[in-house]
Amino acid sequence: MRLRVYLLTLVLVSWSNEQVLARSYDDVIASGFLKVAVYSGYPPYSFLEEGSARGVDVEIAALLAEQLGVALELVWMTPDESLDDDLRNYIWKGPVLEREAGAPMLKRPVADVMLRVPYDKAFAYKVDPDGRVMNDLVHFFAPYQQEQWVLGYHADRMAPFENLAVFQYDRVGVEIDSLPDLYLSGAFRGALRHNVVHFRRFDEAIDGMLNGQVSAVMGQRAEVEWGMRLSDRIASLSVPFPNLYKPTWDVGMAVRENFRQLAYALGDVIEQTVRSGDMTHLFERYGLAYEPPGYYLQLGKH
């Protein structure tokens, strides 16, 4: 049965000084709404199209709210310098803002749950230089997708290839300061650096490939597949990425560490959606291939 998603009440939330703390399950139910943080301008996951919220994560957020019997408020996130900063800003502490004079002040976190975070033990328990766990106030749960790095290429300018050596001769586009940027710029002792072209956003890299600035792009598989809808000459290719840490990873959710009851309720919704095949149908509606997280494969649940 196809996934039925009702977008209920999509409220585009902006920062204000009246924000409330992330809330418990009981507070969410009593209030009648669930605040879900998704990244802005991030197709095919979460983006605006003609003023309407769209994307895989937007529909998952709507489903979570629907199954709790509450309305949805979307919190549009602007990425900070790191994912750790995003978790701090939206889940457990709030961003630090500089006053014109005096000590810094904090704005409170505005989301009950944050989507598109890694479901990864090493990340969850990583420590700072002083040996303290950096995200000990965050609970990671409910993996809902396995993502991976791939290459997209323009078939009119490149033939299918087997390794990255082709980028000694062909130009490849990346989102600036992303992992593909750092990886390709340093691969083979920097031999590819002169052919790595930087774009502000990944969708701009796709446009660059369409207009001939580059012959290929490196990004997340869903991003490349989303770009493929623009031209039947764009193809996706997975090649070995030597020494790349985590070429595939599971994507999940996060809540404040002491709100486990909310996590259990939302996790049950995700598990049923994955097991029933409805998650596959959701991705297919956006022209994307769905890969279930390794978590479910290991448990034999898919």
Q: Which amino acid is at 259?
A: F
Length of the chain: 302
Please state which of the four CATH numbers 3.30.450.40, 3.40.50.300, 3.40.50.1970, 3.40.190.10 is assigned to the domain occupying 148-237. 3.40.190.10
Per-residue pLDDT of the chain (302 residues; tens, 9 = 90+): 433 333 333 333 333 333 445 688 999 999 999 999 999 999 999 999 999 999 999 999 999 999 999 999 999 999 888 899 999 999 988 766 544 444 455 455 689 999 999 999 898 888 888 888 888 999 999 999 999 999 999 999 999 999 999 999 999 999 999 999 999 999 999 999 999 999 999 999 999 999 999 999 999 999 999 999 999 999 999 999 999 988 999 999 999 999 999 999 999 999 999 999 999 999 999 999 999 998 777 665 55
pTM for the full predicted model: 0.86
Domain range summary for the chain, segments of one domain joined by +? 12-146+249-299, 148-237
Write the DSSP symbol of residue 79: P
CATH architecture of 12-146+249-299: 3-Layer(aba) Sandwich (3.40)
CA atoms within 13 A on the CB side of 271: 13
Provide the phi-psi class of 268: left if phi over 0, else alpha when psi is between -120 and 50, else beta. alpha
